[in-house]
Each structure stands twice: as structure tokens, then as C-alpha cells.
Amino acid sequence: MTVQSLPEARDLSHHLNDLARNRFPSPLKDIFRQMQRPGIISMAGGLPHPSLFPFVDASVSVYPPNGDLSGPIPPASDRMTLNFQKYPSSKGTVDLSTILQYGSCEGLFPLREWVRKYTLDVYQPAYSNFEILLHEGNTSAWTKVVRLLCEPGDMILCEEFTFPSAMAVWVPLGCKAVPIKLDGQGMRADHLEEVLANWETSHPGLKRPHVMYVVPVGSNPTGSTMQAERRKAIYEICARYDIIIAEDDPYTTLQFPEFDLSAPAAEVVHQSGEDFAKSLVPSFLHYDRDGRVIRLESFSKVISPGARLGYFVCNPLFAERLLRATEVESQTPSGWSQGIIYSLLETWGQAGYLSWLSRLRDVYQSRRDGLCAALAHSFTALPARDYAAGVEGAEGIALYHTGTDPKSIKPDQRPIATFVPPTGGMFLWLSFSLSLAPRFRELVAQGVEDPEKQFMDEFWQALAENLVLLTPGSYYVPWEGKDKITTGARGAAREIGYLRFAFSYEDPEVMAEGIKRMQQVVSKMFD
């Protein structure tokens, strides 16, 4: 099917907020049109002449796209070089006089074209007239989406545990979260349907949410990845209730096969770039016949965060309003970042980039495996479906004190903790059964206001004292307003506490040592 044969996006302009509606069209259009006239002398634009940029040329030495990423820096003979001259030296190259000048607010044209082809080939969107707009990373991009769609006081659909920086954009606007329950695949379609179907009775007088924020691959913090069937179901619900989906997908290519507890040290199977691309779960774009998905993709996790570069894929109307905002707010991402990343992608080629992403995924997969194996090694780890079948919400792998005889475990016996081995991204989410902790029971007996929060704060502190630093689960609790701060007030699951483990940075051996330290604290604090 060619892109031309696909439908165009629907008119979704009723989703724009007042701010976005009120933006002026740029008055400079007339000037840009006149600038095309042959022979024109322009004294219209306030551009510095590139002869006055102090940069003459630049070169950047880079990895080949298909090397082994677990070893040392590749030798010079294997590397590739990105070269930049001040003025264009041949057709199609990017030069410093262009990338360091004021540029098009949509972003560097050849980079957008590169990304457009990649989007078509890899994501196969379901409508034809999608647009690509570069941005300064997904956090900045999500801010732009909130300013495009949300009015103060709006309620925003999100995962039951969500990314704190995403929340920090909407909270000061007086917006509140509508958390949707999670399972091992992320947001649950049945709960989403329930919330929306009962909205008028459960939230009388409040406008039904029309924006969803979701991290569908390697969810931060839970590490879950939403598979194709779930996506289709969520998309259909959103289409029915007219909801815009902001797909924040920085971990999109860090997707892993299931972790096999029976073979924790299994070798990672390397795939070709082509097979790798085919193996990826489809983006929401692939189901998006309406143009109601705003996809936020970023080079932060797969090239480098410091570039502050990513891109929107969305319908033309949203793209135009996002562009108007970008013109007056951020203008463009850094020209250095755009030029270097474009040159890298162009030098590698699409096949090379897919190969790079595949190799990179392998490294994260082995780190994921290392962390899961370390947990299995420091505890007695058993499949929850076999050993904690009677424990509500227990999913994935159940952890018991080391030395526990599996045969002694009753089906309704709470494990110390459970986790679903991450199928994407950089994070693992561990749920602790707090009823096994004497100190927690003491806090409950004392009648403290939020015993879950207080115990987890103490537990986190004890871990830090034992030199292992994790992220408290409380950071990821969506903000529902001042009256819903405690675990009880939020109606959240009781007697459970959470910690997030990042496996992106440390070597597996170091993580194993960290898990050992955690195990020591757990053995003291949990029955």
C-alpha cells in the first residue's frame, strides 16, 4: 500500500486550546515568498553574515554502525568521520554556514526528509499527510503538546505510574491526572474503557479528558511494553471517545524479548537491522487512521541526550500550530546538534542506523538480563503464576528470601517482592509486599496517615545508608490534586511499595553488587 492511497487525517481542530488558536500566522511569509525572486536584494532579514561565524570547519569521528558495543572504543581504522566545511563543498552536504545560521523552525530540511522516510518504512502510519517537526527532546516536546491542547484544569489520562517531568508540566497549570491501571503490558484497555464510560457519573460536571499521555515502550517507571493487540484496543477506545494520544516513545527501539528465568545467562541473539525493524511492536501511528496520535520521538536514548534533539510525527493541523509556537518560543533545535545527527544518519544510512539500533538494543538487553539475573541470584525467584497464584496483582517473577524452599510456598503466601521483567527501555519496577515488614505493621498500628509512603521513605533511606541508590516509587504517582496525596486518598493498592531500578548506566557486575546490598537491607526489614 502506498502512502498516497491512505486516507488523510480528520479535522481535529476542536482539540486546540485557546492559546494555540490565538497564535498569529507568521507575518514573514510574504517576505519569504519575495526572497525567491531572482536578483532580489534583501535587506529584510536580520541575519549575521556567515563569514562572521568564527568556525571554519569541524570533524567528528564516530563508531561504525555495526560494531560490538560491549567492548572498548573501536579503533581508528574502523571509525567513520563526519566532516563539515564552512561553505557547501558539494551538493547534499550540510555546511556550517547553514546549520549555524537562523534556520527553518521546522528543522533542517534534509534531516526531516531522512526521518520522514524512516517513519514511513519503520512505522507505516495509517494516514497519508503526517508531518515531521523537529524538537528539543521529548520533555520539551510534551510541554509543547500541553500548550497546544490542554486548558488549565483539564484532566489528563495517563498510566497509573508516570514520568514525573511529564507531570511537572501540567501540574502548575492546574491540570490533574486520571491514572489508568497497569498490568505487565502497560495501560489496561478495560480500565480505560471503564473510566471513560462512567465519566459523567464518576466525575459529575467535569469535562471528560481529551488527551492521553503514554510511554508505551519501556514505560518509565514500569519497564512494560504495550503489544499490538493492546494498542489496537486502546486506539479504538480513544477514537470512540475522541481522545488525542501523545505517544512519548524515547525507548521505542529498546524492545527486548521476554526474560527467561530458567536461562538467565542466555546469550543475546543478534538480529540484522532489517529483522530488528520487523521485530518492533508497531507505533500507535500504525493504527492512526484519524491523525489523533502525536508521536514524540527522541535521539536522546539512542544517540545521546546532550544533543537535545527529537521529532514530532503528527497531523498537519497540529504540526502547523506547533510550528507557530516553536517560531516564537524555541525557534529551532541547535544547529550543531541537527547537523551532526543528520550527518551521522546520512553517513550510516538507514540500514546502518537500524543495525546500530539493533546492536544498542542488545547491550540494554544484556543489562536487563544482568539485573534480572542478579535479583534471581540474591533472592529465591519463582514464576508468580505458579507460586503466587493466589496473591492479587502478583505478576511476573516473585522474590522470596534466599534459601526459601519453593515447595514450602503456599499459593496465597505473599512474596517479598514481584516484578515483571522489563520488555523495553531502561527501568525495572519492583513491588514490595509491605505487610511482611514489621516496621510497616508498626506504622499501620500507630495509625500514621500514609504508612506506605512513610515506610518506603525509611526503606529508601536505609538502602542509601547501605550505599545503593534507587528511585522512590512515590515520584511516579500521578498528581490528582491536593486532596489525593496519600495512598489511601488516592484509592491506590494498599500494603505495596515500589522502587525503580535503572539498568542503563552501570555494568551488570556493579548492578549485582548493588542488588546484594539491597538484599542485605531487605533481609533485615522484611519477615
Residues 282-321 close enough to bind a copy of itself by CB under 8 A: 300-301, 303-309
Q: How near is the Cβ of 332 to a copy of itself at its closest, in Å?
A: 7
Q: Check binding of 110 to a copy of itself (CB under 8 A).
A: no
Pick the binder of a copy of itself from 8, 68, 120, 168 (CB under 8 A): 168
Judged by CB, which is closer to a copy of itself: 332, or 431?
A: 332
Judged by CB, which is closer to a copy of itself: 143, or 418?
A: 143
Q: CB neighbours (10 Å) of residue 143?
A: 20
| The C-alpha cell that represents 397 in the structure block | 517473577
Pick the binder of a copy of itself from 57, 260, 274, 449 (CB under 8 A): 57
Q: How near is the Cβ of 399 to a copy of itself at its closest, in Å?
A: 16
C-alpha to C-alpha distance for 75 and 277, rounded to whole angstroms: 28
- Tell me the window of 135-143, 194-202, 390-398, 488-496 that interacts with a copy of itself (CB under 8 A): 135-143
Judged by CB, which is closer to a copy of itself: 125, or 137?
A: 137
Total residue length of the chain: 527
Q: Are 156 and 211 in contact (CB under 8 A)?
A: yes
The CA-based diameter of the chain, rounded to the nearest angstrom, is 88
Q: Are 427 and 500 in contact (CB under 8 A)?
A: yes
Q: How near is the Cβ of 312 to a copy of itself at its closest, in Å?
A: 15
Pick the binder of a copy of itself from 99, 354, 373, 443 (CB under 8 A): 99
Of 9, 24, 31, 122, nearest to 324 (Cα)?
24
Residues 186-215 that bind a copy of itself (CB under 8 A): none
Q: Are 121 and 350 in contact (CB under 8 A)?
A: yes
| The C-alpha cell that represents 154 in the structure block | 483539564
| The C-alpha cell that represents 38 in the structure block | 531572482
| The C-alpha cell that represents 431 in the structure block | 513491588
Give, in order, the Cα–Cα distances in Å from 507 to each of 39, 331, 418: 61, 39, 23
Q: How near is the Cβ of 145 to a copy of itself at its closest, in Å?
A: 12
Which H or E run contains 341? helix 335-378
Q: How many residues bind a copy of itself (CB under 8 A)?
A: 109
Q: Check binding of 360 to a copy of itself (CB under 8 A).
A: yes
| The C-alpha cell that represents 263 in the structure block | 536461562
C-alpha to C-alpha distance for 159 and 493, rounded to whole angstroms: 15
Residues 255-274 that bind a copy of itself (CB under 8 A): none
Q: How near is the Cβ of 471 to a copy of itself at its closest, in Å?
A: 5
DSSP letter, residue 136: S
Q: How near is the Cβ of 309 to a copy of itself at its closest, in Å?
A: 8
Residues 482-501 that bind a copy of itself (CB under 8 A): 500-501
Pick the binder of a copy of itself from 503, 522, 525, 526 (CB under 8 A): 503
Q: How near is the Cβ of 294 to a copy of itself at its closest, in Å?
A: 17
Give burial (CB, 10 Å; 0-12/13-18/19+) of 116. middle
Of 115, 98, 146, nearest to 350 (Cα)?
115
Q: Check binding of 77 to a copy of itself (CB under 8 A).
A: no
- Tell me the window of 198-206, 269-277, 355-363, 395-403 that interacts with a copy of itself (CB under 8 A): 355-363
C-alpha to C-alpha distance for 527 and 523, rounded to whole angstroms: 7
Residues 26-55 that bind a copy of itself (CB under 8 A): 27, 31, 34-35, 37, 39-55
Judged by CB, which is closer to a copy of itself: 165, or 523?
A: 165
Judged by CB, which is closer to a copy of itself: 94, or 277?
A: 94
Q: CB neighbours (10 Å) of residue 10?
A: 15
